[in-house]
Amino acid sequence: MSETTRTPLLEVRDVKKTFVVRPMLGRSKEVHALKDISFTIEAGKALALVGESGSGKSTCGRAIARMFSIDDGRILFKGKDVAAARNPAERRSNARHIQMVFQDPFASLNPTHTIRHHLLRPLRLHKRVEAGQSEDEALRQVLADVELDVDNTLDKYPHQLSGGQRQRVNLARALAVGAELIIADEPTSMLDVSIRRSVLQLMKRLKEERGIAFLYITHDLATARYLAEDTAAMFAGRIVEFGPSEEVVRDPLHPYTRLLLSSVSDPHVKINPSIEDAKAFSDYADGVRAQTEMSDAPIETIRPGRQVRPVAV
C-alpha cells in the first residue's frame, strides 16, 4: 500500500495581521487583529470561528480570501501557498475555489441585474456549463442545489426576493463559480429568526452532499455546533480554545469560552446561571477578558484535536 499523507483543503499556519490606524488627530495606532492563528479545514467539513465583536473573525476570513496580504505566516490551499500564486491563472483558480458569503445578503448582489445575470456570468466565465448541457439547464441545476424555485427566481431582481432567498442566491453564485471552500461571515445574522435555520440546513447539506468546506463565522455557539465539526473560540486575535464543537459547548475548558457560552440564550448551554445580576455579570466578563488578554502562552494541545490556551494566574 502506498503511503498516504493527507493534505488538508485549507491550512492556516501562524498567521499575523496588524492594521495601522491613522486618526485625523493624534498618533497612529496599531491594531493586532491576528496575532498568531493556526488551524486546518478538511474538504466537506466546517470550522466555526466564534468570538466577541472585534476578536478578529472577519479579518481571519478575509485574509484567507486574499482580500489583503498577511504580515506573517502561511495560508495553504490544497497544500499550495495562496500568496505564492505567481501567474494570473493560478490566482484566478484560488480566487474561484475560495468564496465569501457576507452577513448582508445585498452586499454582493447588483440591484440592477436579475438573478439569471448574477448566476450566468460566473457559469460562463468559469466554463461551468457542462458538455451537452444548455445554459438554462446549468442555471436550473445551480438553483436546485440551493433549493430555489427556478421559475420564481431567475428573472427577478435582488430586491424582489426575501433575505433568505438572497442568501441562497449568494450560495448559488459561490457554487456557480466552483467554490470548494465557502467563508460564511455571519451569513444568517441579518435574516429573520424564522428562516435562519433553513439557510443553516442548506449549508449543512452542501457540506455533506456536495463536499463543500465552510469557515463559519458566528457569534452563536448553538449554530456553530449544528453546522461545524470543530469550533475555535477567538479573543483579541488569538484562538483560545479549539475542539470538536460538541465538546467545546458541553465541556468548555477556557474561561473565555465559558463566558461566550454564558451569554447565549440556549438554556442547555448556560454555564453561569447564578450570575443573574447585570453588574455582577459585567464584572465577571471584564475579569475573564483581562485574564485572557494577559496570557501570551502558546496554545497547548491536550490531545489530538483539542487545544486550549493557558490562562494567566
Give the footprint of Mg ion on this chain (CB under 5 A). Answer: 58
String marking each residue 10-49 x if it binds ligand ATP according to CB under 6 A: ---------x-x---------x-x----------------
Q: In the stretch 43-82, what mask flags binding to ligand ATP with x, by CB under 6 A?
A: --------x-xxxxxxx-----------------------
What is the C-alpha separation between 24 and 57, in angstroms, rounded? 27
**Other beta carbons less than 10 A from residue 41's beta carbon:** 23
Among residues 172 and 183, whose Cβ is nearest to ligand ATP?
183
CB 4, min distance to Mg ion, A: 37
Residues in binding contact with ligand ATP, number by CB under 6 A: 12
Choice between 58 and 170, CB closer to ligand ATP: 58
Q: Which is nearer to ligand ATP, 185 or 230 (CB)?
A: 185
3-class DSSP state for residue 64? helix
Q: Which residue is nearest to Mg ion (CB)?
A: 58
125 Rama sector, left if φ>0, alpha if ψ -120 to 50, beta otherwise: alpha
Which CB, 22 or 303, lies closer to ligand ATP? 22
Nearest distance from C-beta of residue 196 to ligand ATP, angstroms: 17
Phi, psi of 175 (to 5 degrees): -70, -40
Contact of residue 56 among Mg ion, ligand ATP, none (CB under 5-8 Å per partner type): ligand ATP
* Rounded Cα–Cα distance for residues 313 and 311 (Å): 6
Q: Are 166 and 197 in contact (CB under 8 A)?
A: no
Q: Which of 41, 14, 74 shows the shortest CA–CA distance to 180?
A: 41
b/e map 124-156, b = 16+ CB within 10 Å:
eeeebbeeeeeeeebbbbbbebbebebeebbee
CB of 31 to ligand ATP, least distance (A): 5
In the complex, what is the shortest distance from the CB of residue 28 to ligand ATP, in angstroms, rounded to a whole number?
11
CA-CA distance, 86 to 49, in Å (whole number)?
30
State in angstroms the smallest separation of the CB of 167 from ligand ATP.
17
Question: Around Cβ 290, how many Cβ atoms within 10 Å?
Answer: 10
What is residue 65's three-state secondary structure? coil
User: Binding to ligand ATP by residue 231, rule CB under 6 A?
Assistant: no
Positions touching ligand ATP (CB under 6 A) are: 19, 21, 31, 33, 51, 53-59
